[in-house]
Amino acid sequence: MEKKQKYNISTSVNKDILEIIITGEITADSIEKLQNEVIAIAKLINPQNVLVDVSALKGRFGFTEAYFRVRDYPADLPRVNIACVDLAENAEYESFHENTSVNAGLSFKWFSDIDAARAWLKSKSKK
């Protein structure tokens, strides 16, 4: 029996930025499904810039899980600029996620302020 997902994904395009807002709760059983859904959205819209807001999402995973999630980034997904917005209290986790992503060749930056994230993505569009 499949468990009902406890998270919600909403998307919009705001000035050439795909904005994905994830709310609810994430569990070890649902993280892969969530990641696949976000990747499917990105493939469908094919943006240059993606803002992912997880500040209202409950549940975080350890550093090892973050490392392997980044390393499993699909080779067929175009490289995009990704800004992740999260609560300041998750800075240590998000900093590790950012460093792991950059070391894997991804353009990824963490923010606690959504306007700063949008500004960074806009600056990347000009290049």
Model pLDDT, residue 127: 54
Residue 93's pLDDT is 79
| pLDDT at residue 63, rounded to an integer | 67
Give the H or E element holding residue 9. strand 7-14
Which CATH number is 62's domain given? 3.30.750.24
Asked, for residue 70, whether it belongs to a domain, the answer is yes
Which residues span the domain enclosing 23? 7-125
Q: Per-residue pLDDT tens for 104-121?
A: 888 889 999 999 999 999
Measured CA to CA, the distance from residue 72 to residue 5 in angstroms comes to: 22
User: Is residue 68 domain-resident?
Assistant: yes
How many structural domains does the chain have? 1
Cα(59)–Cα(107) distance, integer angstroms = 24
Regions in the chain scoring below 50 on pLDDT: 1
Is residue 55 situated within a structural domain? yes
Domain presence at residue 2? no
Residue 126: the pLDDT is 64
* Full-model pTM: 0.86
Decide if 38 is inside a domain.
yes
